[in-house]
Amino acid sequence: MITYNENERVFKLDTPNTTYMIGIVDEENFVGHIYYGRKLEDTDASYLMRTGEPPFVPSRNNRERCSFYDCFPFEYPASGLGDYREGCIGIRTAGGHAGAVLSYVSHEIMAGKPGLEGLPATFGTEEECTTLKLLCEDRYVGMQVELLYTVFHDTDVITRSVRVTNTGTGHFYLTKVYSACIDMDNRDYDMVTLHGSWARERHIQRKTLGYGIQSVSSFRGESSHQDHPFLALVDKNTTQENGEIYAMNFVYSGNFRAQAEVTQFDYVRMTMGIHPENFCWKLESGESFQAPEVVMVYTDKGFDAMTAAFHRLYKKHLIRSEYRDRKRPILINNWEATYFDFNTEKLLSIAREASKLGIEMLVMDDGWFGRRNADDCALGDWKVNEEKINGGLKYLVDEVNKLGMKFGIWFEPEMISPDSDLYREHPDWAIAIPGRPGTESRQQFVLDLSRQEVVDCIYEKVASVLRSANIEYVKWDMNRQLTDIGSYGLPADRQGELYHRYVLAVYQMQDRLTKEFPHLLLENCSGGGARFDPGMLYFSPQIWCSDDADAIERLEIQEGTALLYPLSTMGAHVSDCPNHTVGRVTPFETRGIVALAGTFGYELDVTKIPQEDRDMIPGQVAMYHKYNDLVREGDYYRIASYSQNHKFDCWQVVSGDRKQSLVTFVQVLNRANFKSRRILLKGLDAGKRYNVSFVNDDNIEDKVYSGEMLMKAGLLVPNPWGDFRARLIFLDEA
């Protein structure tokens, strides 16, 4: 619900358990942030803006206007006129000047939620959400800024976005456009972020928030392996079950900055948006710029509640694919099985054996096109290599289909190899700084997708392949970051638009793809997990979580990912051993149990693995089919964290009706001369009784416990013998 108290000039935005307040103050209609926190019944808390204290408002004390700007809790702060904190919007006029401040003009409260032009965003019906449009202006610049807020009625989430319009007669440049800001008092917060690198993405990092600016960011052209577009400020005592959290997640797949600034007055300014590095957008008279969306969550009930809010929103109000609520086919990908060394018969030999074991889809990875026998050529030449795929693609697909299996294929549409027919024909289609040698990565360049002719050409190449055979799955990859930021297709004063135009083009291509092939299962990937973000989830219901599929490494990766994203979105496979990234040897059973917490599939040569492992696959397939509905649809809880205790990991999913639950326990390192571990379960119905079964250990007798007993007193989990061992525990209402 959203209301406006006209007498006090206060907007009140209510979710089921939280309140967000905005106030209009002074004759100049400054827009201030009042409150975000636990739900309030009162409709006015404007005293929290401290406008009754020095330096007061400008109409009362104009001689200290600069001081007012520097301490007022702006709802959407600009910069250059006296607010020395990080601003959300920066402009440069045609005369070269910077500086702006926004004043309220009007507002509209509406049922439902409008879409964002060219951008992914959450959605909801008129019954599911309410939206506030808050129109502000700087009349000296000739600029209007529309602040958009949406409240969802079924979860404690508020989304925000910003649209900037040039209402003047000349042009100006946007040098910064963030999407959200919260100004509030500092209460000795910790800062929680997700950090990593290739093969170890999204590890949870928690540190004390100190004075000054602390941020995470990417200006690599992607949301990145290294930092994630997520930021949370949490109370020192916040745990999984208790404590305050203010969280932001960016619905965007390119450059970002997420930042918290503790100021001289012990205020905190929390901001998120497009990274201003090398960003400059020219707005002609009448033109608008739409900034991406930020998802905000507040809770005083700890990380479990924050995670539940994000999961609920993304499952119901972001993912659009018809696979959102469907079991995904169990696939086998040939990458770690063959790399580039394959042909039709080799792929069919894998498919024949896989089909006997219950695997449902064969995915042909890199190496099927052009002269692509290594990773140094042919990107952009999306034409089947019939010397390798002898008989042609349709023959291969048809033969796989005859086995009762689906067929999928890998593309890297955004890239171009210097050694490719496409580059020799169109060298200017690569992103490059004219006159400077290009910076290669993986011996490839990035296509300039700011040019529509490039987008159209590449899309048609990809679509032509998909039209030629019964291809039901696409893995869309992106294996390098952007450098040499220059476009032969943009004028000099628009070169700063390249990063954002690139992301918009990726969205355009995937939107076209999913509309032309509405039944296609699309899985995004970027060197593994470099573009695992809400923007990609809008187009694909799952994203490859990391190129490191080692079950033990995946514990931290999947824990950090599941902090925000539903388990159904995490691409997870049983991979070869010794693991191709870290060389670790992990039991096949454990690899299957850890992969069950994601989309589930295989990344190995099923014709070469030990017979003992091969014999386990039908059981793992049956396990997936039995439990996937629960994993995909259930509520997720974190029980224990290997990243914190360095001994074992444990998580749980519970069905919406509280009748079933699945607990995954992974013993990373065994302990000598210790008793069983006691774990306290969550999310059960205290009044129900549950039959508790250790799925993969017939030596442990099934027993019946009350939900109250399991949550308050706990469940004893006997220590498995050995390291890297996992137990799967199923609870069913007795």
Kindly give, in sequence order, each residue whose CB lies less than 8 Å from that of residue 374, ignoring residues fewer than 6 positions away.
Answer: 340
Whether residues 658 and 623 fall in one domain: no
Residues 335 and 294 in one domain: no
Residue after which a domain boundary falls, among 590, 617, 633: 633
The angle that helices 393-402 and 344-356 make with each other, rounded to 10 degrees, is 20
Kindly list the distances between the CA atom of residue 88 and the CA atoms of 94, 182, 191, 234, 605, in Å, as whole numbers in the listed order.
20, 11, 20, 22, 51
pLDDT at 674: 92
Same domain, yes or no: 679 and 728: yes
Q: What is the pLDDT of residues 444-453, one digit of tens each?
A: 999 999 999 9
> Quick one: 525 and 624 in the same domain?
yes
Is residue 322 in a domain? Answer: no
Residue 453 amino acid letter: E
In-domain check, residue 586: yes
488, amino acid identity: Y
Q: What is the pLDDT of residues 706-716, one digit of tens each?
A: 999 999 999 99
Q: Token pair for residue 308?
A: 């539940």
Residue 643 lies in a domain: yes
Domain final residue pick, 317, 341, 372: 317
Asked if 57 contacts 68 with a C-beta cutoff of 8 angstroms, the reply is yes
Cα 595 to Cα 18, 332, 603: the distances in Å are 35, 13, 11
Residues 94 and 236 reside in one and the same domain: yes
Per-residue b or e along 218-256, where b marks 16 or more CB atoms closer than 10 Å to that residue's CB? bbbbbbbbbbbbbbbbbbeebebeebbbbbbbbbbbbbb
Cβ-contact 75, 31 below 8 angstroms: yes
Concerning whether 398 is annotated as a catalytic residue, the answer is no
Based on the structure, what is the number of domains in the chain? 3
648: domain CATH number is 2.60.40.1180
> Between vectors from CA 551 to CA 558 and to CA 634, what angle results, nearest 5°?
45
Domain range for 348 is: 331-633
Q: Are residues 358 and 438 in the same domain?
A: yes
Evaluate the CA torsion angle 578, 582, 584, 586 in order and state its sign. Answer: negative
> Which of 254, 283, 317 is where one domain is finished?
317
Q: 380: phi > 0 → left, psi -120 to 50 → alpha, else beta; which?
A: left
Is the same domain home to 646 and 605?
A: no
Residues 497 and 458 in one domain: yes
Any idea what the CATH number is for the domain that residue 358 is in?
A: 3.20.20.70
Q: Which of 75, 61, 67 minimizes the C-alpha distance to 27?
A: 61
Decide if 537 contacts 321 (C-beta within 8 A). Answer: no
Asked if residue 382 is part of any domain, the answer here is yes
Q: Please check whether residue 23 lies inside any domain of the structure.
A: yes
Q: What is the pLDDT of residue 392?
A: 96
Tokens representing 293 are 């969306």
Catalytic residue (choose from 183, 547, 548, 550): 547
Question: Is residue 724 domain-resident?
Answer: yes
Residue 588 has φ and ψ, to the nearest 5°, of -60, -35
- Give me the half-sphere count of Cα atoms (radius 13 Å) on the Cβ side of residue 328: 33
* Whether 670 contacts 636, CB under 8 Å: no
| N- to C-terminal Cα separation, the chain | 40
The answer to whether 591 and 623 are in contact (CB under 8 A) is: no
Identify whether residues 618 and 694 lie together within a single domain: no
Q: What is the pLDDT of residues 313-333, one digit of tens each?
A: 999 999 999 999 999 999 999
| Residues 495, 389 share a domain | yes
Q: Spot the catalytic one: 366, 477, 548, 649.
A: 477
547 as an active site residue: the answer is yes
388 secondary structure, DSSP code: T
* Statement to judge: residues 373 and 495 lie in one domain: yes
Residues (pLDDT < 70) of the chain are none
Helix, coil or strand: residue 122: coil
Are 248 and 342 in a shared domain? no
372 domain residue, yes or no: yes
Whether residue 325 lies inside any domain: the answer is no
Amino acid in the structure at residue 97: H
